[in-house]
Amino acid sequence: MNKKIALTLAIGSTLLLAGCSSGPDDQTMSQIKSLNGQIEQLNNEIATLKQNQSRTEMKATDARDTANSAKENAFSAQEEAIRANERIDNIAQSYTK
């Protein structure tokens, strides 16, 4: 009796494993191909977005550098204007003395 049960289990498990080991059917393969295509498309979109982000970051850095340069130039011009006004004041004082 135990031999019959063991034999039945062995045959059943063999058939079960044989059924599981078969390759995917055509519908499953077409779904896999479709999903692989979608993955490739998403990877391309990600690469494009990364490039756009990199360009945007470079533009932002350039804009920040330009703004800092303009700020420094404005500060320098303001200092030069103060010095020029002091020279004019000194010249005006020398004439009034």
Query: What pLDDT shows up at residue 74?
Result: 97
Instruction: Report helix, strand or coil for 61.
Output: helix
Encode the chain (97 residues) as per-residue pLDDT tens digits.
677 777 677 777 776 666 555 667 889 899 999 999 999 999 999 999 999 999 999 999 999 999 999 999 999 999 999 999 999 988 877 776 5
Amino acid code (one letter) for 19:
G
Query: What pLDDT shows up at residue 93?
Result: 79
What distances in angstroms separate CA 16 from CA 5, 8, 11, 20, one per listed residue?
A: 16, 12, 9, 6
What distances in angstroms separate CA 76 from CA 68, 69, 80, 84, one per listed residue?
A: 12, 10, 6, 12
Query: What pLDDT shows up at residue 21?
Result: 57
